């Protein structure tokens, strides 16, 4: 299959602010749009593969994702992809809003009304967001696997996407080892 590199935003800053209320109106939309684009290109295309990714972008850009016949794509877009993209963008914003670049190098932003988080707090929070992202990615993959016939582009494009169907990664303080189907203590 030939690949076409197209970009159309899957999420607007306004939709992001509804899905993630912590993203407030003081952040410029152009900055949010930039982070949406980066998160979308880094997360969505590898998650879906070129075929399904481009199909959804074409439906979004043409305003046809809500049309009859596009219900399967509408379902994954509204029930999974928007939230995964919103969380991924939020994670990027958490990192990038903490710092600013000056001619003397990278600096921590300070304000009069709040103190910036330290690196361990920021890492903890980003891991919390990543756990949410991983959970919803896993839910999406499970949905796609349970509805295989509706998403042939996903299952036929295995060379063009990351193979997430066997991955279930969560960061937590527990370690569970499974050998030959039995839990090991």
- Give me Rg for the CA atoms of the chain: 19
CA distance to 12, 56, 71, 78, 119, per residue, from 44 (Å): 15, 11, 19, 14, 27
> Is pLDDT above 70 for 153?
yes
CA-to-CA distance for 4 and 58, rounded, in angstroms? Answer: 11
81-85, 106-110, 113-117 — most confident range: 81-85
Q: What is the mean pLDDT of residues 123-131?
A: 86
Structure-model confidence comparison of residues 94 and 90, the more confident one:
90
Indicate if the pLDDT at residue 15 is higher than 90: yes
In this model, does residue 162 exceed pLDDT 80?
A: no
CA atoms within 13 A on the CB side of 55: 18
Spatial CB neighbours of 19, under 8 Å, sequence gap ≥ 6: 11, 82, 83, 86
What global pTM score does this model have? 0.76
């Amino acid at each position: 299959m030939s690949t076409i590199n197209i970009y159309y935003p899957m999420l607007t800053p306004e939709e992001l602010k509804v899905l993630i209320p912590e993203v407030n109106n003081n952040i410029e939309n152009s900055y949010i749009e930039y982070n949406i684009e980066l998160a979308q290109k880094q997360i969505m295309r590898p998650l879906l593969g070129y075929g399904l990714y481009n199909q959804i972008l074409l439906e979004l850009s043409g305003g046809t994702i809500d049309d009859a016949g596009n219900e399967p794509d509408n379902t994954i877009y509204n029930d999974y992809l928007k939230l995964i993209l919103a969380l991924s963008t939020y994670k990027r914003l958490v990192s990038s809003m903490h710092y600013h670049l000056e001619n003397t190098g990278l600096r921590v932003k300070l304000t009069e009304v709040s103190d910036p988080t330290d690196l361990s707090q920021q890492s903890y929070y980003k891991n919390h967001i990543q756990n949410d992202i991983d959970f919803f990615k896993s839910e999406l993959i499970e949905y796609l696997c349970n509805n295989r016939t509706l998403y042939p582009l996903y299952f036929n494009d295995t060379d063009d996407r990351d193979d997430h169907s066997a991955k279930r990664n969560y960061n937590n303080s527990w370690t569970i080892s499974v050998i030959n189907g039995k839990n090991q203590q």
